[in-house]
Amino acid sequence: MSLMPKTRCTRHGYLRIVGGEGKERRLELYPEDVAEILDNDKAVPVGRDPKAPHRLHRAFYSIPDDECIIAVQDDENGEVITLLPFSHHGRFALDTIKVRKMAMQLMGISLPLDVECERIVAEANTDCIIAMEFRRPTHASVDMVRLKRMPVAEGQLLHEVLHDAALTKEIETECIYALGQLLPGTQITRLRVHFVSGSTASQFHWVERDAFF
């Protein structure tokens, strides 16, 4: 259980949850739902307000909204002061994909392998590299061969690339051809998709899938 005092809402925080008095409702949960999430430590601490260090920013995942929300909570009295949209929370340098994944896992949601890529938007000069990992019948180790490298349109969601029907068919053909060049009995272990922008390693995004087909 959390060491923070039991959650309660300020008037502003309450209105951010339920809406009214000119305040926009920011999620489908009710105040008691938010309190249960926070009181049971199902939120990820992401930072403190430098001007008010007793205000802790906590990211939690709302299942009905399929979205992360930042609760700004006073750790001296447990008050939720406000709720902030996760997508517009620029106060801290967040690894948004990692935080979202952690928040979802705290809510008991298991993630498919490619969900981390779901909300990443391609930057300028982004390429998609698809490789096939395989194991020969005479070797215990796994080898890899590149199947395709192609540009991704700037602004495109990367998960859309993975689920493109034409690409799926093309990769299936490439896999069959590659297997034909290898020893009989060779098995595909998985496909690897590598999105790269520029030449900085920190900008690489790996997505692993058991198969495209």
183 & 154 share domain: yes
27 & 104 share domain: yes
Q: Is 175 part of any domain? A: yes
pLDDT band for 116, please (50, 70, 90 cuts): low
Both structure tokens of 49: 């307000």
Of 78, 110, 142, the one marking the end of a domain is: 110
Per residue in 140-152, pLDDT tens?
A: 777 888 888 888 8
Q: Is 77 part of any domain? A: yes
Say what the pLDDT of residue 213 is. Answer: 37
Q: Does residue 78 register a pLDDT over 80?
A: yes
Sign of the CA dihedral with 71 first, then 12, 54, and 35 last:
negative
97 & 32 share domain: yes
Q: Does residue 86 register a pLDDT over 90?
A: no
Distance CA 168, CA 177 (A): 14
Say what the pLDDT of residue 77 is. Answer: 93
Please list, in sequence order, all residues whose beta carbon lies within 8 angstroms of the beta carbon of residue 88, skipping any fewer than 6 positions away: none
Distance CA 128, CA 189 (A): 20
| Type of residue at 105 | Q
Q: How is 23-66 classified by DSSP, letter by letter?
A: BPP--SS-HHHHHHHHHTT-SEEEEEETTEEEEEEEEEEETTTT
Say what the pLDDT of residue 202 is. Answer: 32
Calculate the average pLDDT of the chain. Answer: 78
Domain total in the chain: 2
Domain, as residue range, for 24: 8-110
Q: Does residue 194 register a pLDDT over 80?
A: no
Q: Does residue 126 register a pLDDT over 70?
A: yes
Mean pLDDT calculated for residue range 155-179: 79
89 & 147 share domain: no
Q: Is 201 part of any domain? A: yes
66 & 87 share domain: yes
Say what the pLDDT of residue 35 is. Answer: 94
Q: Does residue 38 register a pLDDT over 50?
A: yes
User: DSSP character for 169?
Assistant: H
13 & 97 share domain: yes
Between 139 and 96, residue with greater pLDDT = 139
Please list, in sequence order, all residues whose beta carbon lies within 8 angstroms of the beta carbon of residue 23, skipping any fewer than 6 positions away: 12, 15, 16
148 & 106 share domain: no
Between 106 and 211, residue with greater pLDDT = 106
48 & 135 share domain: no
Of 75, 110, 145, the one marking the end of a domain is: 110
Q: Is 2 part of any domain? A: no
21 & 72 share domain: yes
